[in-house]
Amino acid sequence: MTTVVDTEALVLFRGEVEALPELAAWVRGELGGVEVVDGGEGLDGLDDEAGARRLRVGGSLSFFTARLLQQVLALATSDPAVDRLEIALDDVDFVGHRSCEAMLAGTRAFRGRGGVLTVWADRAIVRSVLRRHLAGRDGIVLS
């Protein structure tokens, strides 16, 4: 679990931010609300599977960070060659319904072209919120 000083920050992991230049440029330009910490496997992850990316997010996915999450997901799925995105929420302390809406909005174009978003979460409370707000949506798999 990642220790986050600012509980209202969206936490991204350095390896993943550095793997996608558009995301790194956006993080540098963002004035606040994003904290980059050491770690991460890189967005190219998924063991050489073409068209797949992995992103790990941490911190608080609340009303305050929903816009940031939406932008991160839109950037991570903007490449037309990407058809699968796995987002791991194991380092998330809190997830609210606004962040679920942000996941939908941030991946709308990606899912519209046939992309599949798989969302992983270890915490039971996070999985419960995800099931309530994302289950049954086209292009979304909850694991």
Task: Identify whether the C-beta of residue 103 lies closer than 8 Å to the C-beta of residue 10.
Answer: no
Task: Identify whether the C-beta of residue 52 lies closer than 8 Å to the C-beta of residue 46.
Answer: yes
- Fold of the domain spanning 10-142: Transcription Regulator spoIIAA (3.30.750)
What are 87-128's pLDDT values in tens digits?
Answer: 999 999 899 999 999 999 999 999 999 999 999 999 999 999
Predicted confidence at residue 9, as pLDDT, reads 76
Residues 25 and 17: their CA atoms lie apart, in Å, by 9
Answering whether pTM is above 0.85, one says no
Of 134, 54, 128, 59, nearest to 90 by C-alpha is 59
Q: How many CB atoms lie within 10 A of CB 15?
A: 16
Predicted confidence at residue 13, as pLDDT, reads 83
Predicted confidence at residue 94, as pLDDT, reads 92
What are 124-133's pLDDT values in tens digits?
Answer: 999 999 999 9
